Amino acid sequence: MSATSSVDRKTSRTDLVLTRLFDAPRALVFQAWTDPARLALWWGPSGFTNPVCEVDVRPGGAIRIDMRGPDGTVHPMTGIYEEIVVPERLVFTAAALDTKGDPLLEVRNTVIFTERGGKTEIVVQARMIRMTAIGATYLDGQEAGWSQSLDRLAALLRS
């Protein structure tokens, strides 16, 4: 299964929209976003692992992912699911946390899953809600991080 990708538009430095087409059925792609065992296999940039990946996929349900970088540093992220329409749409917040557990930045992610002749197009919109001065440094890697995560998802769907 292959995937094609594009950055449709960047409305501002804090907003990002990515579109990706996966050669996989929509139900399978949606499941990869909602099953913690599958999500842990692809979430995060290249070289990262997810020793903690907990999701309660329902409105008001929590998400917690601790991403471990290649250097061993753990980058915790928490959030709340706001909207779930199986298998069409996910809306959730995500907050990158500092070493004290305080949010560095918070993003609202909207993921739309569209069936395209047996393939699945997803559109990921990441919109900044709030950030600290230190959190602003994370923006420079936002597009690369999402792109690498989606590359890892494509590889998982091929296996």
Residues 57-79, mean pLDDT to the nearest whole number: 97
pLDDT at 132 over 80: no
Give the range of the structural domain holding residue 72, as residue numbers without chain letter: 3-158
Contact 123, 8 (CB under 8 A): yes
**What DSSP line would sit under 86-124, residue for residue?**
TTTEEEEEEEEE-TTS-EEEEEEEEEEEEEETTEEEEEE
Q: Number of structural domains, the chain? A: 1
- pLDDT value, residue 131: 76
CATH of the domain at 121: 3.30.530.20
pLDDT at 4 over 60: no
Tracing tokens 């936002």 back to the chain, one arrives at: 142
